[in-house]
Chains A and B, each alone.
Chain A
Amino acid sequence: MKRTMKLLPQISFSILVALSLKPRHGYEIMQQVEQDSEGRIKLVPGALYSAIKNLLDADLIEEVAQSDERRRYYELSDKGRRQLNAELEYFEATLSLAKQRLAPGAQA
């Protein structure tokens, strides 16, 4: 992961993960985030759309047209997909490092 790439806040990261499969509207994103986190993250509308605004401003997600006129759908942009992949690489590397250090007999 490039050093210049900043890690996203947890809620923003969770929203990107929720959008990784298909476009979703706000309530679907909330449900998917809660499901992905096994109930640990329960979003409320204010926090959700505050994060969505930040993601839109950063061009990590885009609004897409769907048949449901009352709800707006969002999907990952190309930049968002790259950001998500980069963060996953970082977390995988960190996880591997942590497991090595916590292994029995690991030396400093």
Chain B
Amino acid sequence: MNKPDKRIALYTHLFSLYPKAYREQFGDQILQTTLDMLDGVTDRKERQRLWVRLALDMQMNIGRQHLKNAGEYMKNINQRLLASALWGIIAALAWLAFPHVRAIGTTWMNTAGGLRVIGLLLFVLAFIAIPSVMAVLALFDRPKTIYQKLLN
């Protein structure tokens, strides 16, 4: 096999952001399917479009899998407490930031526009909070052998 593309190497390392069980069950197959897709595209612009689709897919799927795993994590009292604390911190930050964000919103836009910005910010924060924390924890537990084997 040729020396792996750096983007493939980065894509492979990002697999560590998936939940461990999902990664072990499907990680090698997702990577193999991705390599098959890339092998099937020779046009440069098509490959660039494919990489964009793959990046967006990975971002969405990592969040989706962590959220699906949330039920399993909630069975453990310590992780339940951690999740509750995280949501509390997010809620507190949102409450503290609300007057300032609302002020900015009403200065730059009308009231409805400002509230839309706030809503969007809260949505983005909630969407990335859980997978971000789980990703940090997952970084300490990264199986290297599966993907190294595929790339060699």
Hey, which chain A residues are within 8 Å of B144, CB to CB?
A: none
B33 pairs with A30, CB closer than 8 A: yes
What's the minimum C-beta distance from A62 to chain B, rounded to whole angstroms?
A: 14
Question: Within A20-46, which residues are at the interface with B (CB < 8 Å)?
Answer: 25-27, 30, 42, 44-46
B32 near A46 with CB under 8 A, answer no
- Counting residue pairs across A and B whose Cβ atoms lie within 8 Å, the total is 51
Encoded as 1 (CB less than 8 Å from any A CB) or 0, chain B from 26 to 61 comes to 100110111011001000000000000110011011
User: With an 8 A cutoff between CB atoms, is A72 at the interface?
Assistant: yes
Measured CB to CB, the nearest residue on chain B to A54 is: B68
Does any Cβ of B come within 8 Å of A79's Cβ?
no
Q: Tell yes or no: A101 within 8 A of B by CB.
A: no
Contact A53 B26 (CB under 8 A): yes
Instruction: Let me know if A91 is at the binding interface, CB within 8 A.
Output: no
Contact A45 B25 (CB under 8 A): no
A70 to B150, alpha carbons, bound, how many Å?
9
Bound CA–CA A21/B53 (angstroms) = 29
**Interface size range of chain A in the complex:** 10 to 19
Tell me the nearest residue of chain B to A71, going by C-beta: B32
Interface majority SS (helix, strand, loop, mixed), chain A: helix
- Per-position binary interface string of chain B over residues 53-85, scored 1 when its CB falls under 8 Å from any chain A CB and 0 otherwise: 110011011101100000000000000000000
Kindly state whether residue B22 has any CB partner on chain A within 8 Å: yes
Establish whether residues B26 and A44, one from each chain, have CB atoms under 8 Å apart when the complex forms: no
Query: A46 and B29 in contact (CB under 8 A), knowing A27-B36, A30-B37?
Result: no
Q: What would 16 more interface pairs be, CB under 8 Å, given A45-B34, A46-B61? A: A25-B33, A26-B30, A26-B32, A27-B33, A27-B37, A27-B40, A30-B33, A44-B54, A45-B57, A46-B57, A47-B61, A50-B65, A52-B26, A53-B25, A70-B32, A72-B29
Binding site for B on A (CB under 8 A): 25-27, 30, 42, 44-50, 52-53, 70-72
